[in-house]
Structure 1
Amino acid sequence: MADAVITVFLEKLLRALSEGGQSILSEFGEFRDQFEILQSELLLMQSFLKDTSRLKSKKETLRTIIVNLRELIFEAEDILADCQLQSGDNDLFSTGWRMCVHPTKITWQYQAVKRLKEINEKIAKIKQQIATYLEVPLLNLPEPVYGCNDLSQNWSSPVYDHTQVVGLEGDTRKIKDWLFKADDGILAIGVVGMGGLGKTTIAQKIYNDREVEGRFERRMWVSVSRTFQEEQIMRSMLRNLGDASVGDDRAELLRKINQYLMGKRYLLVLDDVWGEKDLDWWHRISNGLPKGNGSSVIVTSRNERVVRRMGVREERIHKPKFLSGEDSWLLFRKIAFAASGGECPELEDIAKEIVEKCKGLPLAIKVVGGMMLYKSPRYHEWKRILDHFRDELKENDSSERGLMASLELSYDELPSYLKSCFLCFSLFPEDCVISKEQVVYWWIGEGFVPLRNGRPTTEAGEDCFSGLTNRCLIEVVDKKYNGTIYTCAIHDMVRDLVLKIAEDDAFYSQDGKSCRHLGIKSDLDPKHLMANQKLRALLSTVKTAEVNKIASSTAKALCKPQYLRVMDVSRSIFETSLSDILKQICFLQHLAYLSLSNTHPLVQLPSSLEKLIKLQILDVSYCQNLKTLPSYIVNFKKLKVLDVSHCGSLDCLPKGLGRLSNLEVLLGFRPARSSQLEGCRIGELRNLTKLRMLALQITRAEEIEDNEVNALVNLQELQYLSMSCFDCDGSDLITKVDKLFPPRQLQELCLEFYPGKISPMWLNPISLPLLRFLSISSGNIAEFHQSFWGPDNAVWKIEALMLDSLSDLGMEWSVVQRVMPSLGIVNVSWCPELESFPVEDFGFRGGVWKKEERRT
């Protein structure tokens, strides 16, 4: 498999040299010569690397060559990054470069030229090795190719329903029948089969079934990883029951579980249980659970002996079968041909051959189908994939090895930038729920996201995420009301693959040694930070509802790797003062992404942070004790994301924020009041013309002057706007907000805690003609402004609507249907006056019935 990181950084290097190289190459002697040589040599290597995916996996000689080349490319990239800092200018090849020949920097220049010479000599040797090994002249190496050669479409959102399940109806019906007949004791049910067969999918379908939800008063889902602690299992059960116990011991945890479940009918799912030798933990938990009332436990495992030892009788062990040929074809075409409504007659014959190679394994079918979704609908391209599949399966004929061959094939066919993005999932522990925002920001910070034609960086990052979800390499966990994904996970078989590749590519290793990316864990050895100057990313990878406890020795070493691009210490508790740690952050001058989210008690950011001139993303969300943001924030010219949401003690942002002209995402913005002279007024937002996402919190009328009501209307790139009036004061605010018109091209609006009885007058289909998603929650709205219903023949383009906790709102469903003909999803909660709204299924959009339940 090709080294993804090499290809990404090679393209990045070549782009930097080709775009800005003329400035430097025309003025400086040895720098000019060495950079010209470097560019020439790397161009010759580039296309060869595009085709090493098969060569490297079959011919070990190339492995050493690739490893050596990877190290040289990283070192060259570090030299360029150092040059940028030495120039004293944000532009790598600006006139500021001349400072590199200042007498005070001669020593640095000499060392850099020496390093470049050594790199070029080594690359020349590698080129000769490749030519000799492949038995081709040097001049016949492939022509260089700039940028990504992925010809596939780019979808910024899922193109098919990720929740769809094919061929498991009989499995779920059988297990539901067992559940509904349970009476005495605890019914134990086992679901057993190889990885990728659909065990977890079956359990999830049962767990989320409406009839099952109605039968059981308490439901608990616990993912049991290969390495777990008994306390973790019990704490996970308690979280399902609404108790976030932290410091209790085993006995107290079990007592609490028993107390919550006593007299209740409950369902417990233990997903993916390993290790048949030591199951004492289960026997202790089981003995402490209340019995009777038809309570049940479902255990999924690859090992039948495990479920037997956990008390499942043979007649209650279900073994899912491989999908039938008909169901396999149905699942495949729903994914591979999603862009054409599930049909592509001209490719049907060859597509069925590809499906046959998946041998009825749901995971293999989904992943291969996702891969083919991005392939050109040409016969010869699909034939190439089929032939490659045949070659791989000759050596991998058993079902599980065949599945891994399918996953490896899907990885090989990824464009290089997506390979790097995919490898990032190797850092997260088994069964971890992963934040989309965290990984996308990581990709941006490390330069994995391809940028073209002035496209917003954050939008390109979201497209990378969709590229992996649509290929079924990562699984959806949680979505917003409109289908937007915000958390994900990876299948354990996929994780096995990504761990192997990451270790081969020195991207990440589980022992934490000699790799460029590390996950922050409570047991992180500080030696892995002190001795590893290669580190590019250091991230918090704790599971949901857990925190990292960082020892003083580890905390003091966090700022030692000088080439760090990404640091995320979110959800961490430090033994030593966080402020003291951050004083050392000035040494990380290459840092592009910094997350201090949910790190308590962060009261202020230190002055040392001012040195981080390359910072693109700053996340201090959920820092409840953060009182101010320093004024130097407005000098971070490269900043694209600033997240200060859920910072309850933060009054306003610093004056001059409007100078951050590259800002694309601003969350948690609180306008300054007239008395806050050093605070940022809402009028400054006019200058943030690249904003895509904006979350406002407005609480006082004086936060919006009469000459500032047009602050948002000309933000032409704005797609998402959240406006919250939580804890607002005074009826004058309603008048001001009514005049604060959003831009016409807005696609999603979230309105929270609006204080008025009538909705804002600008909330109408004429002022917001492109609005697709609308969420209104809490607040006093009792009716919509007359303009909401539009003039005659005017209709909304809204596709998804959420109404939550609006106790006074009343309106007729028939009227909503008339003005929102495109409505496909409705999510209504705690709105008792909406009596005419449907409870059951409604609406047929794009060939899919959307089911949403109204809860009152």
Structure 2
Amino acid sequence: MNPENIETVFNISERFPEFTRKWFTRMKKLRVLYLGRWERIDPENEMDKWERTDQEIEMDSRRVMKDLSSLTRLRFLSFQGISTIKSLSRSACKLNKLIILDLRHCYNMEQLPDDIHKLKSLVYLDLTGCEALESIPVGLSRLDNLEVLKGFVLGDVDTAKTCKLAALKRLAKLRKLSVTVHREAYPLDKLIDDIKEFKVLENLNVRWGSKVILKKKHLNKDETEEQEEYERSWRDIKELPKQLRKLDLERFPDKELPEWLWPQKLLYLEKLRLGSSKRNKGFGAVPAGEPTKCGVKVLRLTSLIKLKVEWRELNKLFPNLRLLESYECPRVTFCPCDRNGIWRSEKIDDSTTTLLNI
């Protein structure tokens, strides 16, 4: 084929993609470049059980990165699962028409370029599973068209060049955000306080990494006073942001949910998922009288070995429930789920069906 007429390159089965030196420079019409692994990954296991098998993809990433700037019409770029990528080049930041950048499971990628703010057309950025990534450059908060950001890292690296979570409030179009927390002294209350000014955020996913230590270390007097002063700034959390519709908490590190996350406080949230927590025991106090006014329609519970609740209690806590998923939750009992752990209400309407598909 004449490279000058090619608009899409999609890697189906090549583990070691090879390129001639001038291949990219001649592809003036290329709009889609998908070199990484394309197979769908189980969302329940995508962060914890990425299989480094013969499906890994390796390539001469330096040479590919060097020639990327030639692809001036590129809209979609995916390097998903390419193990040889350690950084994204400045050359990639010259793709000013790029809309989607997929870097999922580039698990050896250690940094993003400071020039990432030059990707002015970027709408969708996925950094899910980039476990070697310790921080995000501050320039990311200047991507004014960004609507979906997955894999934002909250690590221990905190410098003037590090993007803070609260800085993302500049992204006026951001509607979907997933965050990976590797910082020890960064509780959920603080995170919610940081996103309270995100005007259109509807979908939030939070995952705590394995580096987060659950036990608090013993502090001396000065350290205790400093910690208390730090906590006072976000202790007044009373509810989730009203525009938030979906919340996913993975590896929640505490035994009890904060009171503002009890079902009776979730008046606007429609979809809640709790997963892979070894400590969480319940949803807070079960009302003795009338059911709560909780708005949650979809509740997914996965791998919660200590969560203890009965179907009767769930009905009081989540009276508007239309779908329940209970998987590997041995203490969630008496639920009328099928053999796949799914229960669906007969009252499912079109809006709930749409919610299930998102």
2:254 equivalent in structure 1: 756
SS at match of 2:106: coil
- The equivalent of 1:549 in structure 2 is 15
Residues 42-65 of structure 1, C-alpha deviations (whole Å, 9 max, x = no match)? xxxxxxxxxxxxxxxxxxxxxxxx
Q: Structure 2 vs 1, CA of residues 677 and 714 (structure 1 numbering), >3 Å: closer, same or farther?
A: closer
Residue identity in the other structure for 1:729: I
Q: Does the 8 Å contact 1:672/1:679 carry over to 2?
A: no
In the TM superposition, residue 576 of structure 1 has moved relative to its aligned partner by 5.2
Instruction: State the shift of 1:683 in Å.
Output: 1.5
After superposition, the Cα gap between the structure-2 partners of 1:576 and 1:665, relative to the gap in structure 1 and judged at 3 Å, is closer
**Residues of 1 paired with 2:58 and 2:153: CA distance?**
32
Shift of 1:610: 2.5
Partners in 2 of 1:719 and 1:537 — Cα distance? 32
Matched residue type, 2:68: I
Q: Is the 8 A contact 2:36 2:57 kept in 1?
A: no
Measured in 1, the distance between the counterparts of 2:309 and 2:145 equals: 42
The 1:797–1:555 alpha-carbon spacing in structure 2 relative to 1, beyond 3 Å, is farther
Partner residue in 1 for 2:280: 781
Larger proportion of strand: 2
Instruction: Specify which of 154, 169, 174 is matched with residue 671 of structure 1.
Output: 154
Q: Is the Cα contact below 8 Å between 1:737 and 1:760 reproduced in 2?
A: no
Larger radius of gyration: 1
The Cα shift of 1:800 comes to 1.9
- More RCO (CA 8 Å, sep 6+): 2
Measured after TM superposition, the shift of residue 663 of structure 1 is 0.9
Match of 1:323 in 2: none
Which residue is 2:297 aligned to?
799
Alpha-carbon deviations, 1:815-844, whole Å to 9, x = none? Answer: 211232322221111111123323456632
Aligned to 1:397: none
How far apart in 1 are the matches of 2:334 and 2:216? 34
CA distance in 1, matches of 2:328, 2:269: 24
Contact 1:552 1:575 (8 Å CA) reproduced: no
Cα 1:835–1:842, aligned 2, differ >3 Å: closer, same or farther? same
| Alignment partner of 1:658 out of 135, 141, 165 | 141
1: CA distance, partners of 2:126 / 2:61: 19
Counterpart residue number, 2:5: 534
Pair 1:655–1:554, CA change in 2 (3 A):
same
Mapped contact 1:782–1:808 kept (Cα < 8 A): yes
Asked if the contact 1:671–1:679 (Cα under 8 Å) also holds between the matched residues in 2, the reply is no
Match of 2:346 in 1: 844
User: Do the aligned partners of residues 591 and 710 (structure 1) sit closer, same or farther apart at CA in structure 2, a change above 3 Å counting?
Assistant: same
Percent identity, aligned pairs only, is 27
CA distance in 2, matches of 1:554, 1:644: 28
Give 1:605 deviation, angstroms: 1.5
Q: CA deviation at 1:749?
A: 1.2
Q: What is the distance in 2 between the residues matched to 1:651 and 1:790?
A: 46
Cα–Cα, structure 1 residues 702 and 687, in superposed 2: closer, same or farther, change >3 Å?
Answer: farther
* Aligned-residue offset at 1:579: 1.4
Conserved 8 A contact 1:614-1:638 = yes
- Per-residue CA distance 1:224-254 (angstroms, 9 max, x = gap): xxxxxxxxxxxxxxxxxxxxxxxxxxxxxxx
2:221 counterpart residue number: none
Following the alignment from structure 2 to structure 1, what is the Cα–Cα distance between the partners of residues 242 and 26? 48
Q: Deviation per CA, 1:109-132, whole angstroms, max 9, x where unpaired? A: xxxxxxxxxxxxxxxxxxxxxxxx
Cα offset for 1:778? 1.2
Compute the displacement of 1:724 (Å): 0.7
The match for 1:711 is: 194
Q: Does residue 594 in structure 1 map to residue 60 in structure 2?
A: no
Return the offset for 1:550. 4.4
TM-score (norm 2): 0.77
- Secondary structure, aligned partner of 2:144: coil
Alpha carbons of structure 1 residues 575 and 698: separation in structure 2 relative to 1, 3 Å: closer
| Residues 549 and 573 in structure 1, CA contact (< 8 A), matched pair in contact too | yes
| 1:769 and 2:267 correspond | yes
C-alpha change, 1:790 and 1:759, in structure 2 (3 Å) is farther
Q: Which blocks of at least 5 consecutive residues in structure 2 are unaligned?
A: 38-54, 218-230, 353-358
Q: Contact 2:3/2:23 (CA < 8 Å) preserved in 1?
A: no
In 2: Cα distance, 1:743 partner to 1:557 partner? 49
What is the CA–CA distance in structure 2 between the aligned matches of 1:703 and 1:847, rounded to whole Å?
39
- Structure 1 residue 789, shift from structure 2 partner: 5.9
Residue 695 (structure 1) aligned to one of 178, 186, 193: 178
Contact kept, 8 Å, 1:655 with 1:680, in 2: the verdict is yes
Offset from partner CA, 1:120-147 (integer Å, 9 cap, x none): xxxxxxxxxxxxxxxxxxxxxxxxxxxx
CA deviations on 1:267-288 (whole Å, 9 max, x unpaired) are xxxxxxxxxxxxxxxxxxxxxx
Question: 1:622: Cα distance to partner?
Answer: 0.5
The verdict on how the C-alpha distance between 1:588 and 1:831 changes in structure 2, with shifts beyond 3 A counting, is same
What secondary structure, in the 3-state scheme, does the structure 1 residue paired with 2:10 have? Answer: strand
Is the alpha carbon distance of 1:675 and 1:718 closer, same or farther for their aligned partners in structure 2, counting shifts above 3 Å? Answer: closer
Distance 1:794 1:559, change over 3 A: farther
What is the letter of the counterpart of residue 6 of structure 2? L
- Aligned match of 1:645 in 128, 132, 136? 128
- The answer to whether the Cα contact below 8 Å between 1:753 and 1:778 also exists between their aligned partners in 2 is yes
For 1:634 and 1:732, locate their aligned partners in 2 and report how far apart those are by CA, in whole Å: 37
Residues 1:562 and 2:64 are matched in the alignment: no
Partner residue, 1:729: 213
| Residues 805 and 708 (structure 1), Cα distance of their counterparts in 2 relative to 1, 3 Å cut | closer
Task: Identify the residue that residue 808 of structure 1 maps to in structure 2.
Answer: 306
Deviation at 1:553, TM superposition (A): 4.1
* Residues 747, 770 of structure 1: 8 Å contact kept: yes
For the pair 1:817 / 2:318, whether they are aligned, the reply is: no
* Residue 116 of structure 2, aligned match among 606, 611, 633: 633
Alignment of 1:8-27 (within 5 A): none
Over 3 Å counting, the alpha-carbon distance change for 1:794 and 1:586 in structure 2 is: same
Question: Superposition pairs for residues 382-421 of structure 1, below 5 Å?
Answer: none
Cα deviations by residue, 1:704-762 (Å, 9 ceiling, x for unpaired): 799875221222322211111121224569x7799596421222111110010001333
Kindly report which structure 2 residues correspond to 1:451-462, keeping only aligned pairs within 5 A, or say none: none
Unpaired runs of 5+ residues, structure 1, are 1-527, 851-856
- Secondary structure at the counterpart of residue 193 of structure 2: coil
Counterpart in 2 of 1:620? 103
Q: Is the 8 A contact 1:764 1:789 kept in 2?
A: no
Who is 1:583 aligned against?
66
The answer to whether 1:835 aligns with 2:301 is no
Superposed, 1:11-410 pairs within 5 Å as none
Gap change, CA 1:618 and 1:659, over 3 Å in 2: same
CA change 1:740–1:720 in 2 (3 A) is farther
CA distance in 1, matches of 2:190, 2:331: 38
- CA 1:661 to 1:672, structure 2 compared with 1: closer, same or farther past 3 Å? farther
Give the AA of the match of 1:785.
G
Q: Is the 8 A contact 1:738 1:761 kept in 2?
A: no
